[in-house]
Structure 1
Amino acid sequence: MNRSTTNKDRRLYDVIVLGAGPTGENVAERTRAAGLSTVIVENELLGGECSYWACEPSKALLRPVLARADARRVPGLRRAVAGPLDVAAVLDHRDEIVFHWQDDNQVGWLDSVSVDLIRGHGRLDGPRQVAVRTPDGDTVLLTARHVVALCTGTGAAVPDIPGLDAVRPWTSREATSADRVPGRLAVVGGGVVAVEMATAWQALGSQVTMLVRGDAGLLPRMEPFAGRLVADALREAGVDIRFGASVASVAREDGDVRATLADGGELAVDEVLFATGRAPRTADLGLETIGLTPGTWLAVDDTCRVTAVADGWLYAVGDVNHRALLTHQGKYQARMAGDAIGARAKGEQADETTWGAHVATADVAAVPQVVFTDPEVAAVGLTTREAERAGRRVEVVDYDLAHVAGAHQYADGYRGQARMLVDTDRGTVVGVTFVGPGVGELLYSATVAVVSEAPLQRLWHAVPAFPTISEVWLRLLETYRDRHPPGRS
């Protein structure tokens, strides 16, 4: 494959993909499988944020933490895992998971699926036009016969706080790629990145303080009991959680980061991590050349076409469209969008029916997510609050996971909770949340229940194995049945 570039190099493709993270790679693979010539443009490492600075390295840091926590709850293993974690081994394994921040294997995969690669920064230069500035200073001008797909993802959103630039704060990238354990770490935020990184670095030896603005608790977008159980466990592990704490300014003095809080208090730490949300990477994509506003999220239809652009040639897939900021959802969107692009390029009608072959219905109805803390949190579909806001009539069914026989086998003193939301008009499950050790492996079954819209009467026939934690499904269904015994009007 010819990857050379020259000044005034012009190339024509059916599909141009900007961004080679998991989303962009999946779009490119699907359009190439449809017979469309495809090029992918990437300015950093192929594999994107997830592979090198998010999902993969964070879970490599968290896995030994959670495995040790599980083992300590099992009689007969406590003494065997009583000591501290081998920090060097954990960090070495993390480095291996991210291939030491080298992307040779990803390049080989692109070759195997016959997708061209141009390294450099790509910007729109008018309809169906992309200009790529390469590392050697040349420019490659690309034209798309059919589609340009923006798959550039998001970056950390850091608040505008006095002194922040001089402090050089951690974001999720630094938190997942650090080569040493800070003695004292402040984590600003209370969402998924904040709780996962607090879990990891506390277990690796940091004295962690969480500064959470407001009093909504941790994991505010999930069921409230999830945040409470995670907060309880973090405090028991030694994390100092301060709610209603806002950072007013920061400064670095004699090696310390000194954070001044809005209430006048101060905190001195070695590093400060801002886990305060994500922003779309659209500021330097040339959106202004097609009449769009740089730096904004890109609104799309259910096949990921940008709704503000005529003729349907521009797609925005993955985090950049703000539908569901999760790697697996971006890959899901990519499969739908890639197949839709292939169909439309052949002059076929895209299948835009609900749960159709080309629409990302699950972005609305059934987004699954696991938070890899101790305890784990796994959720899919609606929360109680979301159902209420949407005007859905739901019945909340709760069950204490500690009463499931499988939980007794899993751990001594198991603590957890399960919640199922039943659509009372249709008799189907529309949301599930599990909190407890090992519940991440329950999530796919919950996702299938929500996506399939299986009636509760049918779910009775899905028999869980004994003794496993999945028996909680039976207990949830029994709890609902006991409230609505047969024959009661």
Structure 2
Amino acid sequence: MESQAEAPDQQSSAGQVYDLIVIGGGAVGENAADRAVQGGLSVVIVEAELVGGECSYWACMPSKALLRSAQALRAAHGVSGAAQAVTGELDVDAVLSRRDSFTSGWKDEGQVSWLEGAGIELLRGHARITGPRQVSVTSADGGVQTLTARHAVAIASGSAAAIPPVTGLHESHPWTSREATSAQQVPGRLAIIGGGVVAVEMATAYASLGSEVTLLARSGLLGGMEPFAGELVGESLQAQGVSLRLNTSPVSVARTREGVRLETSAGDALHVDEALAATGRTPRTGDLGLESIGLESGSWIPTDDTMRVPGFDWLYALGDVTHRALLTHQGKYQARAAGDVIVARARGAQIDDAPWGAHVATADHAAVPQVTFTDPEVATVGLTAAEAREAGYEIRVVDRELGDVAGAALYADGYSGRARMIVDEQRRVILGMTFLGPDVAELLHAATIAVSAEVPLDRLWHAVPAYPTISEVWLRLLEAYGRPARTGT
């Protein structure tokens, strides 16, 4: 296919000119740039930190590396024969070293090399939008370059940890997810503020690494998921030695010579070595020049399903900054759609933004998969029962115990877990699935296909699960729901 894009202009009254300028060189920005380059466009990524972004260095990869070693050890202890053979303790230094290997020691040479091989230019510095299709880039030495986009600017700057407005918390320099995933030493005592995914994953990780962990949650755990998920994860955390304080919040925090002191809403004080704020995310849009084009600085950026910002024919937003689904895989999905859209529009094509169109991102409305890598794991996709009812669906909730499935009993002695299926009774399709148990993450993609493709239950009877595997729970769920209607005579 012959490219219809021009190479970037090296000298221009408007500075360097590219077909597409991507602000943010994380996984989302990389994917959008790659799709556009494959479509024949010239692309530059502007990145102020490490190419590869949050997921590569401070989120997905290092956090799961911290969790995996203890998970493997517990799995071995759960199978007789292996349990007798595994007599040592977790090697904390080896865990941290393995984690470091996944971040390449917080160096991005490998990621930069990938950009070069993909034909994507990189400009290091801080980007600010200064007008329609115009971006200024300030380098570390203070130099400023001006870039112009022929077709599009895509904002993929991500999000940062939000620090809640607790007296003294910001001044005490708490850990956020960045410090928790990159720490070179394990604190003896760690307080975690929050009850979401980051909070429970880091509680799991640091309890296994030897910290005395106290988790303070304003309400329950894993709000927004099925209630049993938070309840059972909480029981597991307590079994791992975590002090779980639900319905409790810090009211003031101070860093002292001895560590960190937290006054709580229960009227007592907690003394720890470090405090981790894990209470949500905030968009990294506060210094991007959004006000120069009439958008609110520091705000989330709304988009249509082609990821274009309403009111602009040249501006796109991808990933966390859209607040659609703050997950790396969903951001990459959005980026692939946007990259294709930008190429198509650059060639004058009319894009169908209706659901299921070829160039739209619709899966992040009601078919978002997510895994919480606690022990047990929680794997979810689609709507919860409460969300489905609120949306007006007539539903049926089907629950099964995973431990009753033959494959689960073989997988681990005393395997315990749960599966929940939310069925739209009018259409007899699955609206949501939740799995809880050891290694249920690997069950999730089948559920994601069923939800996103709206596969009728009558068809799912013909998707036969292999025996003896944990996937046999699909058969048990269908049996609990009821056999398909018979047709004919």
**Partner Cα distance (2:273, 2:194) in 1:** 17
Amino acid paired to 2:300: W
Report percent identity of matched pairs.
Answer: 60
Report what 1:428 is aligned to. 429
**Partner Cα distance (1:121, 1:90) in 2:** 34
Classify 1:450/1:165 alpha carbon distance in 2 versus 1 (closer, same or farther; 3 Å). Answer: closer
Where does 1:2-13 land on structure 2 (aligned, <5 Å)? 10-13=15-18
CA contact (8 A) 1:21 1:50 kept: yes
Shift of residue 9, structure 1, vs aligned partner: 8.8
What TM-score, normalized by structure 2, do the two folds share?
Answer: 0.96
Deviates more, 1:124-133 or 1:344-353: 344-353
Q: Deviations over 1:435-472 (max 9, x none)?
A: 00010000000011111111111111111111100000
1:272 aligned to which of 254, 272, 275: 275
2:221 aligned to which of 218, 222, 227: 218
Report what 1:69 is aligned to. 74
SS of structure 1 residue aligned to 2:41: coil
Report what 2:121 is aligned to. 116
Report what 1:318 is aligned to. 319
CA contact (8 A) 1:401 1:436 kept: yes
**Partner Cα distance (1:195, 1:82) in 2:** 27
Shift of residue 342, structure 1, vs aligned partner: 0.6
Where does 1:326-337 land on structure 2 (aligned, <5 Å)? 326-337=327-338
Where does 1:66-465 land on structure 2 (aligned, <5 Å)? 66-214=71-219, 217-307=220-310, 309-310=311-312, 312-465=313-466
Shift of residue 251, structure 1, vs aligned partner: 1.1
Amino acid paired to 1:42: E
Shift of residue 485, structure 1, vs aligned partner: 6.8
**Partner Cα distance (1:413, 1:86) in 2:** 26
Deviates more, 1:160-169 or 1:325-334: 160-169
Shift of residue 161, structure 1, vs aligned partner: 2.2
1:26 aligned to which of 28, 31, 48: 31
CA contact (8 A) 2:428 2:456 kept: yes
SS of structure 2 residue aligned to 1:302: coil
Shift of residue 248, structure 1, vs aligned partner: 1.0
Q: Deviations over 1:180-237 (max 9, x none)?
A: 11000001000000000000000000000000002xx210111111111111111111
SS of structure 1 residue aligned to 2:151: strand
**Partner Cα distance (2:413, 2:285) in 1:** 49
Task: Give the unaligned 5+ runs of structure 1.
Answer: none
**Partner Cα distance (1:83, 1:136) in 2:** 51
SS of structure 1 residue aligned to 2:131: coil
SS of structure 2 residue aligned to 1:142: strand
Task: Give the unaligned 5+ runs of structure 2.
Answer: 1-6
Shift of residue 122, structure 1, vs aligned partner: 0.2
Deviates more, 1:355-364 or 1:397-406: 355-364
Shift of residue 88, structure 1, vs aligned partner: 0.4
Shift of residue 476, structure 1, vs aligned partner: 0.3
Report what 2:3 is aligned to. none
SS of structure 1 residue aligned to 2:307: coil
Amino acid paired to 1:219: L
Shift of residue 166, structure 1, vs aligned partner: 3.6
Report what 2:21 is aligned to. 16
**Partner Cα distance (2:293, 2:273) in 1:** 45
Shift of residue 165, structure 1, vs aligned partner: 3.7
Shift of residue 355, structure 1, vs aligned partner: 1.7
Equivalenced residues, count:
480
SS of structure 2 residue aligned to 1:78: helix
Report what 2:44 is aligned to. 39
Deviates more, 1:329-338 or 1:62-71: 62-71
**Partner Cα distance (1:180, 1:342) in 2:** 47
Q: Deviations over 1:91-127 (max 9, x none)?
A: 0000001000000011111111111110000000011
CA contact (8 A) 2:14 2:148 kept: no
**Partner Cα distance (1:79, 1:202) in 2:** 23
Shift of residue 83, structure 1, vs aligned partner: 3.2
Q: Deviations over 1:369-395 (max 9, x none)?
A: 000010000010111111011111111
**Partner Cα distance (1:287, 1:9) in 2:** 19
Amino acid paired to 2:217: V
SS of structure 2 residue aligned to 1:161: coil
**Partner Cα distance (1:166, 1:79) in 2:** 49
What TM-score, normalized by structure 1, do the two folds share?
Answer: 0.96
Amino acid paired to 1:11: Q
**Partner Cα distance (1:240, 1:392) in 2:** 39
Amino acid paired to 2:67: L
Where does 1:48-63 land on structure 2 (aligned, <5 Å)? 48-63=53-68
Shift of residue 486, structure 1, vs aligned partner: 5.1
CA contact (8 A) 1:9 1:140 kept: no
Deviates more, 1:349-358 or 1:394-403: 349-358
Classify 1:345/1:485 alpha carbon distance in 2 versus 1 (closer, same or farther; 3 Å). Answer: closer
**Partner Cα distance (1:221, 1:66) in 2:** 25
SS of structure 2 residue aligned to 1:179: coil
Shift of residue 167, structure 1, vs aligned partner: 2.0
**Partner Cα distance (1:344, 1:252) in 2:** 54
Shift of residue 354, structure 1, vs aligned partner: 1.3
**Partner Cα distance (1:160, 1:29) in 2:** 39
CA contact (8 A) 1:396 1:421 kept: yes
Cα RMSD (Å): 1.8
